[in-house]
Amino acid sequence: MSDRGRLANHAWEGLLSAHARLMKQFADADTWQDLSMREYDVLYTLSKCREPLRIGELHRHVLLSQPALSRMVDRLAERGLLERCPDPADGRGVRLSLTDAGRDKQRSIGRGHAAHVARAVTAELSRDELEQLAVIAWKLAGRAGTTTDDDQKEPRQ
């Protein structure tokens, strides 16, 4: 393996280790109210979308299997946090969006989670490192040049 290949694998291992460490820290936080962190992820993803999503589109943005996501969507709909609406482009299709209660729940949890993320990441990185990390992470995500304003309009991942 080339030096570049070894360095890529070392960087990948560091990225995964950092992700695992931070996700454990976030999962242990008393932030999630009566949701799981994965349920919050679904609400967060829908909150970032300009229009309702088909379940297949939602699936591309969350780390759940299609069957697990379908069951979770059912539970969140039963709780009144998201709703299904007919897809105008496909009479058989359904689109998903947050209800007002779902949007309120996402915002309420999101404020605490965002503060926790900011504390955890800024404790380890300087401002310059944060800027470098943002550029690198969005480049690897296939959205090079994404700004925080752009991120408000589309789901991440």
Write down all domains in the chain, each with its CATH number in brackets: 33-122 (1.10.10.10), 125-157 (no CATH)
Percentage of residues of the chain with pLDDT beyond 70? 92
154: pLDDT strictly greater than 80: no
Paired with 85 in beta bridges are 95
Q: Three-state SS string across the chain, please?
A: CCHHHHHHHHHHHHHHHHHHHHHHHHHCCCCCCCCCHHHHHHHHHHHCCCCCECHHHHHCCCCCCHHHHHHHHHHHHHCCCEEEEEECCEEEEEEEEECHHHHHHHHHHHHHHHHHHHHHHHCCCCHHHHHHHHHHHHHHCCCCCCCHHHHCCCCCC
Mean pLDDT of 75-103: 93
Distance, CA of 85 to CA of 96 (rounded, Å): 6
Q: For the whole model, what pTM was predicted?
A: 0.83
- Average pLDDT on 52-75 reads 94
Stretch 99-111: mean pLDDT = 97
pLDDT of residue 152: 42
Given this model, what pLDDT does residue 88 score? Answer: 86
